[in-house]
Amino acid sequence: MANFSELNLSEPVLKSLSSMGFESATDIQSQAIPVALSGQDVIGQAQTGTGKTVAFGIPIVETVAREDTNIQAVILTPTRELCIQVAEEISKVGGFKGIRTLAIYGGQDIGRQIRSLRNHPQVIVATPGRLMDHMNRRTVKLDHIRIAVLDEADEMLDMGFVEDIETILAACPSERQTMLFSATMKPGVKSLARKFMRDFVLVSVKATEVTVPTIEQDYYEVPEPQKLDVLTRLLDIQNPELAIVFGRTKRRVDELSNALQTRGYMADGLHGDLSQKQRDTVMGKFREGGLEVLVATDVAARGLDVSGVTHVYNFDIPQDIDSYVHRIGRTGRAGKSGIASTFVTPREIDHLHQIERMTKHKINRRPLPTFTEAKVSKQRIAMEQLLDACEDENLSGFKSLAEEVLEGHDSLTVVSAAIKLLTKGTNEVPIKLTAEQPIRIRSPKNRERGGYRGDRHREGYRHPRGGHVRGRSRHQG
Ligand SMILES: Nc1ncnc2c1ncn2[C@@H]1O[C@H](COP(=O)(O)OP(=O)(O)OP(=O)(O)O)[C@@H](O)[C@H]1O
Ligand SMILES: [Mg+2]
């Protein structure tokens, strides 16, 4: 951890950082910022939640000129939610310098975006599909770009996105500076990146493990039909402040968020088939604490930063290692602790052990929570709520009724009844979810044929020709 003042930053940027409440730079920030400020291309790799956004945001804000009305920096993100979030963070970094940052993403009214572009943002954050729309309409010109950043670079250079990225970068001046950031960076990505970059400096924060040590990693071996009961019991026992539950497909997310609502949780779903309005509403509610549980596909796996997410549940084990790393990284961010629990059906145990081997981190096997444990825990939480309410000075309006009750019953009976009512469970309402097929481990041979990332079907979207496609069809970016 270094002090931001040692990094040769301008006064307005230092002011912005202190108004954001940042006291010192994280490792990736103190290592990547000087290299980026020197104008070199950068590949930056550091664990989830360690402040990569600001690591590329500061050099951007320092480099762009306020008096220049051209778009001078572009950041590409794989999902709309991340696009909005990154734009907000960069706006904050650029606040005191007066740098305008605009988010441009699919699903939002293009007319509105065109009007916002007339305010001449110096920085745009975009999902590739929508940006290409603007390029075709000539409402965005990239010929004054000085810095281009791929956030979640390995994902952006994966199938489904790579052609769009090529088109976008080809429209930027070739003497631009290019930066790639992600928590995961396979060797293949680096060689692919050479196509888009000059000599780059690899800034990789040395960590013994790819996952963050502040995340406790657990797993539960649970047969498919019991998953829902296990999840609701864990929610009752662990009592998360905010939780994200990952499901494999859109159908799964829909069914599961409905099931959780039926069982009395404040839950809602997020996936690529929802309208942008629905997606915005769900994310807004989740960020403001109006939802306890966000149920999502991998569309929420990368980059999202929501403070208060104490628990992540992999209701379905992720298809690949990177997805596991990013999903669990939605908790345990910026030094906070978190718990990640993965449900594994008996036939998927090998897959789990493979994740353990590849991440070099033990995932602890935990016994299945029982109905009684969940019940006792709920009662304890109800009791705490009752005790909190006792501290409330505003109880005078209830006291005459209370006296009436106490005339006929002793206080022990009355309090017991109150706890019983507060814990009136909807929790074992039987609900049947459509079963998901277990994930099978792939042989190394299959993986070499390009299978490991290419043939997984995130969100279950199946291309009409039979293959699985990802990228724009998934994110409608
Ligand atoms: N220097 C800092 N001090 C304190 N908090 C910081 C600092 N830099 C960033 N943060 C905060 O840490 C959180 C995580 O940052 P960020 O989202 O950039 O992580 P990331 O490395 O991009 O993670 P991911 O790989 O999941 O995308 C954010 O809430 C951010 O505002
Ligand atoms: Mg990030």
Which tokens hold the place of 342?
């993965």
Could you give the CA distance from residue 125 to residue 92 in angstroms, rounded to a whole number? 14
Query: Which residue, 313, 336, 371, sits at the end of a domain?
Result: 371
**Per-residue confidence (pLDDT) for residue 461, from 0 to 100:** 35
Give residue-wise pLDDT tens across range 403-412.
999 999 999 9
Core vs surface per residue 202-235: b (16+ CB within 10 A) or e:
ebebeeeebbbeebbbebbbbebeebbbbbbbbb
Task: Looking at the structure, tell me whether residues 186 and 150 fall in a common domain.
Answer: yes
Q: 275: CA distance to ligand 1 center in Å?
A: 28
pLDDT at 201: 95
Contact 367, 256 (CB under 8 A): no
Give the least confident one: 235-244, 269-278, 344-353, 449-458.
449-458
Domain that holds residue 137: 4-205
Same-domain pairing of 250 and 158? no
Pair 448, 468 in one domain: yes
361 lies in the same domain as 279 = yes
Return the residue whose CA atom lies nearest to atom 27 of ligand 1: 303
Ligand 2 center to 49 CA (angstroms):
7
Task: Answer yes or no: do 55 and 164 share one domain.
Answer: yes
391 and 316 share a domain? Answer: no
Confidence (pLDDT) at 186: 85
Reported as a pLDDT band with limits 50, 70 and 90, residue 448 is very low
Looking at residue 442, what is its pLDDT? 56
Alpha carbons 50 and 34: distance in angstroms, whole number: 17
pLDDT of residue 222 exceeding 90, the answer is: yes
Same domain flag for 360 and 408? no
**Confidence label for 168 from pLDDT (cuts 50, 70 and 90):** very high
Reported ipTM: 0.99
Give the residue-averaged pLDDT of 83-90: 98
The residues near 300 (Cβ < 8 Å, ≥ 6 apart) are 79, 81, 244, 246, 270, 294, 330
Number of domains in the chain: 3
Are residue 271 and residue 347 in the same domain, yes or no? yes
Atom 20, ligand 1: which residue's CA is nearest? Answer: 49
Residue 470 has pLDDT above 50, yes or no: no
Q: Give the number of other Cβ atoms within 10 Å of residue 263's Cβ.
A: 20
Residue-wise pLDDT for 7-37, tens only, equals 999 999 999 999 999 999 999 999 999 999 9
Closest ligand 1 atom to residue 334 Cα is: 12
Enumerate the H helices of 97-182 as residue ranges: 110-117, 128-137, 153-156, 162-170
Average pLDDT over residues 68-95: 98
pLDDT band at 452 (very low <50, low <70, confident <90, very high): very low
Index of the ligand 1 atom closest to the CA of residue 82: 27
Instruction: Please report which confidence band the pLDDT of residue 450 belongs to, taking 50, 70 and 90 as the band edges.
Output: very low
pLDDT recorded at residue 426: 60
Q: Which of 166, 182, 205 is the last residue of a domain?
A: 205
Q: Where are the alpha helices (DSSP H) in 288-331?
A: 321-328
Residue 57, domain CATH: 3.40.50.300
Domain ends where: 356, 371, 386?
371
Q: In whole numbers, what is the pLDDT of the chain averaged over residues?
A: 90
